[in-house]
Each structure stands twice: as structure tokens, then as C-alpha cells.
Amino acid sequence: MITVQKLTKRYRNQIVLNLERLEIPKGQSFGLVGNNGAGKTTFFSLILDLIRPTTGYIVNNDVRVDTSEAWKPFTSSFIDETFLIGYLTPEEYFYFIGELRNRNKADVDALLSKFDNFFHGEILGQKKYLRDLSKGNQKKAGIVASFIGNPEVVILDEPFANLDPTTQIRLKGIVKDLTDNTNTTVLISSHDLIHVTEVCERIVVLDKGEMVKDIQTSTETLQELERFFAT
Amino acid sequence: MFKYFISLQWKSFFRSASLGKGLALKILMFFFGIYMIVSLILAGSGLFFLLQKIFPGADPLLKLSEFMPYWLLTELFIRYFMQKLPVMEVKPLLALPIKKSTITHYILGRSGLSFYNFMGLFLFVPFAIVLLVQGYPFLNVGFWLLSVVFLVLMVNYINFIINKNDKALIILAVILIALYTLEYFTILPITSYGGKIFYAFYEYQSLFIIPLSLSFLAYLINYRFLRKKIFLDASLGKKTKKAITSDLAWTKHFGSIAPFLQLDLRMIWRNKRTKTQVFLSLAMILYGLVFYTMDDFALTSSMMVFAGIFITGIFLANFGQFVPAWDSAYYSMLMSQNIPLRKYLESKAGLISFSVVIMFLLSIPYVYFGWQALAINFSAALYNLGVNIPVILLFGSLNKKRIDLDKSAFSNMQGMGAAQFLVIIPLLGLPVVVFALLKFLTSFEVGLMAMASLGLLGFVLRKRLLDGITELYRKKKYGMIAGFKEKNS
């Protein structure tokens, strides 16, 4: 689904990302871990063509992302709160995203009804603008918005951060459901090793922009990761 | 303790975003500030002689004293809308080992040093100096000035009281209306009483104790009020407004640009800065009166063309120059979403076109000054629609400065850059030059026709022009995303 070729990103003389080759097959749940500054968000921003690669390129489903926009209809993402439009209510935001992805109100409502549990009654019908919601609730809205329109690729940057425990557990269920029952490719980055190992089939560790580990998740993975980050 | 506060203040000023702006803008604002101060000082020094001339035989100080109540009221009025107590800034201090009373004194004390308090001084100090030169006794003038300073401080603190407390606002309003009524029906000549009172500050030095205690009282009320409120949930909490929603179903008539149109309308209506922008634009329609009533310009002069472009295009200029910066807070989302950039720009162009039409319709009453006024405004509107809309969108591609929507538009320079000043030249200058040239060579009518035809031509070519602009936006995408992320630019 996503192929990375000789990708580097350099700011002045500092290389922040250097991936020789990386292939993420369709339907995989892909986890990205690494300390601050490892290049996780840079990598996601490159996939979304929000920053320009210094060398190399990324191909998303046969579309080279920095030359064509044809990847947009089947790719969706939630990177941070700047992906939300603060002066809209959550409903308006969902409908707006739906509109962009050719889904009418009824379609969006049908999708949202599946997330009642996840929203925990704190998102819909609150008569509040997104800018006035708490960080956690903003995140919930953003994550669900990224599921609108059956995207083939979903990119979530730190989806577990700021969420309360109940919601974290529910989110894990949602992501598992997404990769088990549909052919959606899910890319997740996280600082929480337990969550990623539970959710992702494959985990890549970045360190200072380099890929240092590429693991198919097994029962030993968590220990392996903990050992890596402890040293 | 206060030493630390002062150094905090110092840093907050010199490290503030507004000081880190582009050099050109800094210089411009600096000169504007100097200009304001110099004009106040000049007004202050000329005031004595002016009053002497208008009211021959009367003591200018007495006359000024009569105006003092009005000055203070005007100051209060301006402050009520513009000056707010910066309570939010002390939030980080709350958890530190500083007494709450100290924090309260800090907030109130520093407001005493706000710019608004010096506005009056730039006027009254030169006036007082002139008084001294004219031989008024030093001690009396000094204490009069001191009284004025304390009265200004009193206004400063009264403003915060009425800003926070609607009851106080109503009481004050009732008192003022009552006084005005008494004056109006000549039951009590309030103005001359006011004059006598202010003059008394000059005559009897010891009276300055009254303004002193009044300002002290206002401070004290503020202190007691504020001290109770320095808690996160009282005054420091974020105020959330209840969302009022409407589905704007009528925009569906506009087809595929409807979702963006809805977004823009909601943005304009739900954010402070855009909302004031709309009201300012609507108010600017009255600006035409200034031009039409000027005797120096004929109704067919180029100045009127300037006025026409200005009136029908004020929203175009105000709103259009910050496309796409209005969407800066979520621009990276827009760029990664399934959005055809073309549709995005079309919707902006549609919204601005709508505003031009509205402004033209509002300007129709100016036909009262002659049919030429209508003809000029009509061709100006056409020119705005056809040429200026693509031009302003084109300049938008140079926009890389973030805008925070919830800040007020008044004296808000955020998002300003050289491009915002440059754009004025083609926007206003070009049509005027075209018109003036053709009018000089042929006639008034031909000049207007040329302007209108340029507009129509632009309209015909709009598709092609928008294609080109879209391409430009696409090329500048990375720079815009990076620029809009910088909070303090």
C-alpha cells in the first residue's frame, strides 16, 4: 500500500528522517514508536505531503504523493488539534468532512452511531464548539472524523495521548476491528508501548530519524521494546 | 516581589510577538505612534490659544475645565470597548508561592501604567506648560494637573468595574442619563457646574485630595472585587459560549462550493476578528459621504472612482487580503483532506463577489448626488468583481502569516506583511489610473466604460485566471503550511 524509497528529510544540516526502504502492505496495522525527535510526526507529515522530502519519495497505492493529489480520496488522518476547525461544533465538523468525502448527512450519522460508546455522550449534542472541548474530547472527535468515508489508509499520530483509560481501551477495540474486519491500512504512532503492541501487527522503531527495529508483533515484542528503550 | 513583576512585565513586552514582527511593519507602527503622540502634544500646546480665540475674554482654563467631563466620559467610552484587565496573564503565578493579594495589586497596579492613561497626559502636560508660560501660578497649575492625573486613573479603574459588573454599568448609565436630562431641560446647568468644579482644582490646591481619594476608592473597589475572583473557575476560567447552530441549507443552491461557503460563513460569524471586519466594512459605506460632500472634487473626478472602488471593494480588501490565512489554524488539515484547491478558491471568490454586490446595492442611495455617482459605483463594482478578486487571491498566495481568529480586529496587525501593503497599489491605484488616463484623452463616459469592460473581461476569463492561481497556491503549499504553524509571527 505504502512504499518508501530512499526518503530523507533534512533541516539545514540536520537529518531528521532517513528511511532507505520501507513497505507497508495493504490492510496492515502498522505501529511507529520512538522517543521525542525520532521523526515519527515528520514521517506522517511526509506521507500526507505536508512537508517536502529532501530526497526520495513515498508511493501511496501507486500514487507518488509529492507529485499527484490522487491519494487524498482514500487517505485520511488525524495528526493533532490543528486538524480540527475550532469554530465548528463536532456535528458540523463531521458533516463537513463527510461532504469532502462524498458522504451525505445520513451516511455520516450512520457512522457516528457506531461510535456512541466511544464518544461517551461528551461529543454529540453538546452545543459546544470544538475549540471549547477538552483536549481528550477534541481528540475523540478528530479520530472519529478520520474514519468517515471508508478510507483505505488511516494515519493517527499519538491517538492514545490525552485519552482517559476507558476511551483508550475502546479505541484499541476500534482499531483492531478496523484492521481485522476491513482491509484498511492503519498507521499509528505512540509513546505507549503496551498499546501499540496490543494493536499493531508490526512495529517499527525510529531513533534519530533512522529505522532501528522492524518487528512482527509477538508475545515477546513488549519486552524487547522495553529492553530497547531502557538502555 | 514587585521587582520580579516588573522584570516579568519588561520581558513580556520586549519578547512579545508584536515586537518580533517584520522590520518594515515595526518602523511603520513606530512612526504611527510618534505621529499620534506628536499630534496630541501639538494639540495640547495649541489648545490654550485656540480656546482664547474661540471664547474671547474667557479664561481658557475655565473653558477647558468645562470640557473635562466630556473628555473623561469619552475616555471611559473608548476604554470600555478597548481596554480589558489582563487577568488571564497571572494564571501561571497562581500556583507559585505568591500571596493572592500581591497578585491582585500587581494586576491593578500595572493597569495604571497602561497606554490609555498616557493619552490624556500627552494633551494636558503641554497645555499646563503653556499655562505656566502664560504666567499662571506654578503651584496651582501643578495641582490641577495632578488632579487630572488622578481623575484619569479613576476612569481607568471605573472602567474595570463596569466591565466586570453589569449592575455598576447600569447605575453609571442611569446617573449619566439623569445628568444629561437635567442639563437638557435646563433644570441644572451641569456643564458649567462641571467647569467650576474642575476650575476649583486649579484655584484651591488642597482640593486635589478629592480626585486622589476617588481614584483610591475605585482602586479599592476593584481590589475587593478582583481578590475574590483570582480562582481558576471564577474569572480566570475560559468562557465557553453556547454554540448556536443553523444548517445554512440555502447555500446548497451554490452547488459544489456549498460546504466551503458554509465554512466561511460560520467562520465570519463565530470569530471576533472576522465579525468586526464585516461591521467595519458595512460602516465604511458611509465613507462615501466624505468624498461626495467635498467641494474640491467634481462628481466626475478620479477621486470619485477611487471612492467607488473603495466602497464596493472594502470587504474584498479587508477579507480577501488574508485568504488563505483565515484558515491558517487548520490549513494542514485542509491540505491533507480530499479538497480540490480549486473549489476552495472558487468559494472564497464567490463570497467576496457576494460582498461586492451587497456593497454596491448599499451605495445606490449616493445617486442623490447625481447619476454619475451611480455610474461610477456600478463600473467600480464590475471592476472589483472581474479584476480585483483574482488580484487579491493572487496576492493571497504570498500569505504565510498565521492569524488567530479570536483576537479582535481593532489595531490588530497579526497576519500583516509587506504583501498586504503592496496589494493596495494594484487594487486601488490601477483602476484610477486607467480611468484618469482615458478621461484625460477622451471623456468621462469612455473612462467608465473602459473600467467596466476590464471587469467584464476578467469575469469572462475568471475560469482561466483561477486555474493559474490554483497552480500558484499548489506550488506555495509547503511554505504556507510551515508559515501558518508559527504561532508568533
Where residue A90 sits, what CATH number does that domain have? 3.40.50.300
- Read off the DSSP letter of residue B321: T
Out of B194, B227, B260, a domain closes at B227
| Contact between B241 and A132 using a beta-carbon 8 Å cutoff | yes
- The pLDDT value given to residue B489: 41
- The pLDDT value given to residue A53: 92
> If you measure CA to CA, which chain A residue comes closest to B247?
A92
In a domain, B425, yes or no: yes
| Contact between A49 and B241 using a beta-carbon 8 Å cutoff | no
Write out chain B residues lying below 8 Å of A96, CB-based. Answer: 259, 262-263
Q: Give residue for cell 462550493.
A: B257
Question: How many angstroms separate the CA atoms of B73 and B70, rounded?
Answer: 5
Min Cα distance A157 → chain B (Å) is 13
> If you measure CA to CA, which chain B residue comes closest to A100?
B338
Residue B69 CA to chain centroid, in angstroms? 25
Residue A57, CB-side half-sphere exposure with 13 Å CA sphere? 10
Q: What are the residues whose beta carbons fall under 8 Å from the beta carbon of A68, sequence distance 6 or more?
A: none
B288 and B158 assigned to the same domain? no
The residue with greater pLDDT, B168 or A222, is A222
Residue A157 reports pLDDT greater than 90: yes
Of A77, A87, A101, the CB nearest to B336: A77
The pLDDT tens digits for B138-171 are 888 888 888 888 988 998 888 888 877 778 788 8
Q: Please state the ipTM of this predicted complex.
A: 0.88
Average pLDDT over residues B429-448: 89
In a domain, B394, yes or no: yes
B337 and B455 assigned to the same domain? yes
Specify the number of domains making up chain B: 2
- Band of pLDDT at residue B24, cut at 50, 70 and 90: low
B300 and B174 assigned to the same domain? no
Write out chain A residues lying below 8 Å of B343, CB-based. Answer: none
- The pLDDT value given to residue B303: 85
B355 and B218 assigned to the same domain? no
Q: What are the residues whose beta carbons fall under 8 Å from the beta carbon of B172, sequence distance 6 or more?
A: B158, B162
Average pLDDT over residues B82-96: 74
Residue B343 CA to chain centroid, in angstroms? 32
Q: Which residues of B touch A (CB under 8 A)?
A: 238, 240-243, 245, 258-259, 262-263, 266-267, 270-271, 329-330, 332-333, 335-339, 405-406, 478, 481-482, 485
> What SS3 state is found at A202?
strand
| Contact between A87 and B266 using a beta-carbon 8 Å cutoff | yes
Write out chain B residues lying below 8 Å of A91, CB-based. Answer: 245
Residue B339 to residues B10, B334, B342, Cα–Cα distance (Å): 45, 7, 8
Degrees, nearest 5: CA angle A116-A121-A126: 120
- Give CA torsion, residues B329, B332, B337, B341, to 10 deg: 90
The pLDDT tens digits for A159-169 are 998 899 999 99
- Band of pLDDT at residue B284, cut at 50, 70 and 90: confident
Across A53-62, A169-178, B229-238, B313-322, least confident range? B229-238
B83 and B121 assigned to the same domain? yes
| Contact between B332 and A127 using a beta-carbon 8 Å cutoff | no
Report, in this order, helix, strand and coil percent for chain B, each rounded to 5: 80, 0, 20
Question: What range defines the domain where residue A194 resides?
Answer: 2-230
> If you measure CA to CA, which chain A residue comes closest to B339?
A100
- Give CA torsion, residues A102, A105, A108, A114, to 10 deg: -160
Of B271, B333, B478, the CB nearest to A87: B271
Using alpha carbons, select from B291, B308, B305 the residue that is nearest to residue B447. B305
Q: What is the CA radius of gyration of chain B?
A: 27
B51 and B173 assigned to the same domain? yes
- Read off the DSSP letter of residue A122: S
Mean pLDDT of chain A: 91
Out of B193, B227, B261, a domain closes at B227
- Read off the DSSP letter of residue A32: E
Residue A94 reports pLDDT greater than 80: yes
Q: Give residue for cell 507559585.
A: B96
Residue B479 to residues A32, A58, B66, B396, B399, Cα–Cα distance (Å): 27, 20, 58, 13, 9
Question: How many angstroms separate the CA atoms of B478 and B488, rounded?
Answer: 18
> If you measure CA to CA, which chain A residue comes closest to B481?
A50
Question: What range defines the domain where residue B32 resides?
Answer: 2-7+18-227
Residue B247 CA to chain centroid, in angstroms? 31
Question: How many angstroms separate the CA atoms of B283 and B280, rounded?
Answer: 5
Torsion-angle region of residue B280: left (phi > 0), alpha (psi -120 to 50) or beta? alpha
Write out chain A residues lying below 8 Å of B262, CB-based. Answer: 96
The residue with greater pLDDT, B326 or B295, is B326
The pLDDT tens digits for A27-58 are 999 999 999 888 999 999 999 999 999 999 99
Q: How far apart are the first and last CA of chain B?
A: 32
- Band of pLDDT at residue B412, cut at 50, 70 and 90: low
Residue A199 to residues A94, A151, B146, B200, B335, Cα–Cα distance (Å): 25, 19, 72, 82, 28
The pLDDT tens digits for B363-400 are 898 888 888 889 999 999 999 999 999 999 998 888 77
Helix (H) or strand (E) holding A223: helix A221-230
B323 and B209 assigned to the same domain? no
Q: What is the CA radius of gyration of chain A?
A: 17
- The pLDDT value given to residue B276: 80
Residue B411 reports pLDDT greater than 70: no
Specify the number of domains making up chain A: 1
Q: With the C-alpha atoms ordered B473, B476, B481, B487, is the resulting torsion angle positive or negative?
A: negative
* CB environment B377-389: b (16+ within 10 A), e (fewer): bbbbbbbbbbbbb
Q: Where are the alpha helices (H) located in A21-132, listed in sequence order?
A: 40-47, 90-100, 105-113, 116-119
Question: How many angstroms separate the CA atoms of B444 and B438, rounded?
Answer: 8
- Chosen from B261, B272, B330, B477 to mutate, greatest number of chain A CBs within 10 A: B330
In a domain, B242, yes or no: no
Write out chain B residues lying below 8 Å of A97, CB-based. Answer: 337
B277 and B166 assigned to the same domain? no
Question: How many angstroms separate the CA atoms of A122 and A110, rounded?
Answer: 18
B256 and B184 assigned to the same domain? no
> If you measure CA to CA, which chain A residue comes closest to B237?
A132
In a domain, B240, yes or no: no
Number of A/B CB contacts below 8 angstroms equals: 81
Write out chain B residues lying below 8 Å of A92, CB-based. Answer: 245, 266
- The pLDDT value given to residue A206: 93
The residue with greater pLDDT, A110 or B173, is A110
B211 and B298 assigned to the same domain? no
Residue B233 to residues B92, B103, B230, B238, Cα–Cα distance (Å): 14, 17, 9, 8
B274 and B176 assigned to the same domain? no
> What SS3 state is found at B405?
coil
Min Cα distance B409 → chain A (Å) is 17
Helix (H) or strand (E) holding A20: strand A14-24
Instruction: For residue A19, give the C-alpha cell.
Output: 528511511
Residues B114-117: contacts with CB within 8 Å, 24+ apart? B114/B83, B114/B156, B116/B75, B116/B78, B116/B79, B116/B82, B116/B83, B116/B156, B117/B152, B117/B153, B117/B156
In a domain, B232, yes or no: no
| Contact between B336 and A128 using a beta-carbon 8 Å cutoff | no
Residue B448 to residues B300, B308, B396, B440, Cα–Cα distance (Å): 10, 11, 28, 12
> Pairing relation of β-strands A55-60 and A2-11?
antiparallel
Using alpha carbons, select from B332, B316, B327 the residue that is nearest to residue B395. B316
Using alpha carbons, select from A106, A109, A1, A3 the residue that is nearest to residue A57. A3
The answer for A 8-47 residues in CB contact with B (under 8 A) is 45
Min Cα distance A20 → chain B (Å) is 23
B159 and B284 assigned to the same domain? no
